[in-house]
Amino acid sequence: MLHCKHLMLAGRLEVGKTLVFQNERIGRKQIRALRGLLVDLVDFAPGRAVARIGHGDEALFVKRYRRSMKPWWKRILRRPYQSPLHNEAMLLARLKKLGFPAPEPLLYTESRHPEFHESLLFTRFLPGVPLATLTGETLQRGAHQALGLLGQLHSHGFAHGDCNPYNFLVAEQAYLLDFERAEDFSRAAGIDDFKKIMLRLRDLGLSDSVLEALAARYASATDSPVLDAQAMLAELQGLSVVRKPTRWRPPQQLQGSL
């Protein structure tokens, strides 16, 4: 079982130049084996790679982010760098304790090299397809699950920060992914989350009546609603989505296991 305290204290090891935050059942041998699997990992965008490791119930998911450490004089002037994956790893540990449907964090590492800073986040692989790839009634059902998840997340005191349909994974149950931009809940952050997902769902073809039902689902999932979902929905009239190419890609497949 993974807890914030274990991540911050008990799970802290040095492996070469790597600072490791780990699940308590992962030892040095497993860490070295996992890192060895990544020699074939390929970036899908500059400095970013994702992969599925293994198959079946024991499959893992890994994110690798790299940030250039050059030129040296800029490193002196800029603030100390913290990887967005660090924020995600810490929050996933808290959500795990709450029983929220999100990836189970297993291992987080940071390495500083002469040319780049590397961060790795290993989680359990979750089955399902992104909400953004669904259509018709399947999209409506998935969207209903997604708005329920968003309401639960806000009730737990967190805002997501990047509420697009690719970050909701739909299977027998739904999961919320990618917490790199997540933060403590505030009214402004909650409104941004709600408006972003609703605008994109409308852009995917959902009707106004369906969106009203989704707003009601969001409201019903919050223990003590801070936001007026129907009022926020009304504010979307006349607004449109600026479409940008998504960076989402199916994960690369790597062979191996924990």
Spatial separation of the C-alpha atoms in residues 110 and 88, rounded to whole Å:
13
What are the E-state strand segments in the chain?
12-15, 18-22, 48-53, 60-68, 105-112, 116-124, 129-130, 158-159, 168-170, 174-176, 183-184, 252-254
* Tokens 């059942």, located at residue: 25
Write down the pLDDT at residue 79: 61
Q: Which of 37-41, 110-114, 158-162 has the highest mean pLDDT?
A: 158-162
Q: Per-domain residue ranges for the chain?
A: 4-126, 129-234
- Long-range contact pairs involving 77-82 (C-beta distance under 8 Å, separation at least 24): 81/117
Torsion of CA 32, 4, 168, 227, to 10 degrees: -160
Write down the pLDDT at residue 2: 38
- Quote the tokens at residue 119: 């961060």
Longest Cα separation, the chain: 57
State the pLDDT confidence band at 182, using cuts at 50, 70 and 90: very high
Write down the pLDDT at residue 258: 63
Write the pLDDT tens digit of every residue in 115-153.
Answer: 778 899 999 999 999 999 999 999 999 999 999 999 999
CA angle (84 as vertex; 97, 101 as ends), nearest 5: 30
Spatial separation of the C-alpha atoms in residues 94 and 179, rounded to whole Å:
12
Architecture of domain 129-234: Orthogonal Bundle (1.10)
For residue 95, CA distances in Å to 1, 82, 190 come to 12, 21, 17
Where would I find the H helices in 60-172? 72-77, 84-98, 136-155
Write down the pLDDT at residue 18: 58
Residue 51's beta-bridge partner residues? 62, 252
What are the E-state strand segments in 199-258?
252-254
